Amino acid sequence: MSDRGNFSGRIGFILAATGSAIGLSNIWRFPYLAGQNGGAVFVIIYLLCIFIFCFPVMIGEISIGRAAGRDAYGSYTRLGNKKWGLLGLTGIVSSVIILSYYNVVAGWAFGFFVEIAFNNLLLKKDFSSFFGNFVNNISANLFYSFIFLLLTSLSVIGGIQKGIERANRILMPALFLVLLGLIGYSLTLPHAMEGIRFYLIPDFSKITAQTIFDALRLSFFTLSLGVGGLITYGSYVKKSENIVYAASVVTWADTVVAFLAGLMIFPLVFSAGQSPAEGPPLVFIVLPQIFQDMGPVVGKLMGSTFFLLLCFAALPSCISLMENPVAYFVDEKKYQRKNVVIILTAVVFIIGLPSLMSFGAVPFLNQLPFYKNRDFLTFVADVTDITLTIGGCLMCIFITYKWKIHNMNAELATGNSNFMGTLTQRYINFTIVYVCPLLLGVLSILVI
Ligand code: PFF
């Protein structure tokens, strides 16, 4: 296994998996979905999904990867058979598709950072039309998303310890510090407490089926489950590591960052008298307005820091999305890492073009007639969200019926000699064997 590379130790894996988990969804998607779905009530359902379904699924994925020591396809094939390998392959393909649109949104964040820090974005009058023009500007978006993809590719070419670990060691702590600073500022603003009330005091009459569905898919997405990315990262974890402990740190860190992002954004939104239900543009339209209100110097500083933070969050997620297919080609096809990354970069860039052009440049892509006249990027995001939630549940079926739960338990007990017989073990087993397959059944009925 040494030629594949390993994480240098517990902290290396935890940082990389946390980096993969914490991403655009924590800072961009979680607050806007919470804003659209009634605030605190969404937060509660989201937390329940994270701890009931997602934490055990994460542990299952990591243990499959470490037991097999291979990429997602190779791990399912080794522990199961070639048919199960298809589940790994589907996840690998989903990773590439997710990366193709995710990189576009990361490009927006990068573009907004540049526009605020080095141009005069905050002097604009109407941020809604600025956003419309910005996402419609193909050449600028090609540039920003290409630069972002390049940063991702260079980190992945660097390999496990040199590239991925080093990038995460710097980015994760930086992200945390910047977030704390912005929260401190937002809480001092007038009407901040209205935002806090909206965010933290639940109104259960606001629960709908949509609230539950949005919370569920977001919780799988935010922990990077269901595409096999954590199988791949798990394959680089040493046998002496305690998987349950590592997974709990990752889950908590991801949850804390999403929670802090809400704590930062809702006071800002309410203090500026804006609507929390603005939807996907919340971060890109509402926040620049708020930064403008802070005055030219503070606004520029806060605004550029915020969008830089969004880039910091997105990069390690992009790295893990790319590492998943790269590991497949390196492990299964014995290709050179560098060549694989170069080809994948081109592929991701090309298949991301329709998403990049789906905001006005190409009218058909802006209003898909077969998808409620919504844009192509939203379509791809919604479809991949479903595949990864279903992928996570199918993984539980794989563990239960093919690999067998006692093998997973044995893997988890390696590096954690006290695991067997604990409440944690029973809870993880129960969720994987009963709860997630049930969830899959309910989901299939809803989707079909
Ligand atoms: N977890 C990332 C986020 O919250 O933005 C997105 C993601 C990364 C999903 C890696 C899936 C994945 F494999």
Q: Are 258 and 30 in contact (CB under 8 A)?
A: yes
Percent of the chain with pLDDT over 90: 69
Q: For the purposes of burial, counting CB atoms within 10 Å of the CB of 327, is it exposed (0-12), middle (13-18) or buried (19 or more)?
A: buried
What the block records as the tokens of 39 is 């605030």
Contact 155, 163 (CB under 8 A): yes
What is this model's ipTM?
0.99
What does pLDDT average to over the chain? Answer: 91
Whole-angstrom distance, CA of residue 11 vs CA of residue 24 = 22
Please identify, by atom number, the ligand 1 atom nearest to the C-alpha of residue 223. Answer: 1
pLDDT digits (tens, 9 = 90+) for 281-316: 788 887 888 888 888 898 898 889 889 888 888 998
Dump the DSSP string for 267-293: HHHHHTT--TT--TTIIIIIHHHHHHH
Number of other residues whose CB lies within 10 A of the CB of residue 338: 14
Instruction: Identify the residue whose tokens are 């992009």.
Output: 318
Other C-beta atoms lying within 10 Å of the C-beta of residue 373: 9
Q: Is 183 helix (H, G, I), strand (E, B) or coil?
A: helix
Which protein residue has the closest C-alpha to ligand 1 atom 10? Answer: 224
The pocket around ligand 1, CB under 6 angstroms, is made up of 20-21, 23-26, 95, 98, 221-222, 224, 227, 229, 317, 320-321
Q: Given pLDDT bands bounded at 50, 70 and 90, which one contains residue 127? A: confident
Pocket test for ligand 1, best of 71, 102, 223, 318 (most atoms within 8 A of CB): 102
Of 35-44, 305-314, 385-394, which range is least confident? 305-314
With a cut of 60, say whether residue 2 has pLDDT above it: no
Q: Which range, of 101-105, 209-213, 344-348, 409-413, averages the lowest pLDDT?
A: 209-213
Nearest CA to ligand 1 atom 9: 224
At 416, is the pLDDT very low, low, confident or very high (cuts 50, 70, 90)?
Answer: very high
Task: Reply yes or no on whether the pLDDT at 256 is more than 90.
Answer: yes
Residue recorded with tokens 């937060």: 43
Q: Residue 278 carries which side chain, given as an amino acid letter? A: E
Structure-block tokens of residue 401: 């019926």
What is the CATH classification number for the domain harbouring 301?
Answer: 1.20.1740.10
Write the DSSP string, 380-400.
Answer: HHHHHHHHHHHHHHHHHHHII
User: The whole model's pTM is what?
Assistant: 0.93
DSSP class of residue 17 equals H
pLDDT of the residue at 66: 96
- The contacts of residue 82 (CB under 8 Å, 6+ apart) are none
Nearest CA to ligand 1 atom 4: 222
**For residue range 260-280, what is the model confidence (pLDDT) as tens digits?**
999 999 998 898 888 888 777
Query: Which of 196, 175, 337, 343 lies closest to 271, judged by CA?
Result: 196
Six token digits for residue 27: 């800072």
Model pLDDT, residue 84: 97
Domain enclosing residue 95, as ranges? 2-447
Q: What is the pLDDT of residues 139-188, one digit of tens each?
A: 999 999 999 999 999 988 886 667 666 776 777 777 788 788 889 988 99
Q: How many distinct structural domains can be found in the chain?
A: 1
DSSP-assigned states of every residue in 238-255: -TTS-HHHHHHHHHHHHH
Give the count of beta carbons closer than 10 Å to the beta carbon of residue 259: 18
Check pLDDT > 70 for residue 325.
yes
**pLDDT given for residue 160 in this prediction:** 63
What pLDDT band is residue 3 in, cutting at 50, 70 and 90?
low
Classify burial at 83, counting beta carbons within 10 Å of its beta carbon; exposed 0-12, middle 13-18, buried 19 or more.
exposed
Look at residue 352 in the predicted model and tell me its pLDDT. 97
At residue 418, the 3 state secondary structure works out as coil
Distance 182 CA to ligand 1 centre (A): 23
Is the predicted pLDDT of residue 63 greater than 70, yes or no?
A: yes
* Protein residue with its CA nearest to atom 13 in ligand 1: 224
Q: What is the pLDDT of residue 1?
A: 40
Three-class secondary structure of residue 59 per DSSP: helix
DSSP letters for 325-383 = HHHHHHHHS---HHHHHHHHHHHHHHHHHHHHTTTTTSHHHHSBTTTTTB-HHHHHHHH
CA of 225 to the centre of ligand 1 (A): 8
The band of 360, judged by pLDDT with boundaries at 50, 70 and 90, is: confident
CB–CB of 389/220 below 8 Å? yes
Residue found under tokens 């039309």: 129
Q: Which of 25, 33, 90, 99 to mutate to test the pocket of ligand 1 (most atoms within 8 A of CB)?
A: 25
Q: Which residue type occupies 62?
A: I
- Token representation of residue 335: 């290709």
**Per-range mean pLDDT, top range of 9-13, 224-228, 236-240:** 224-228
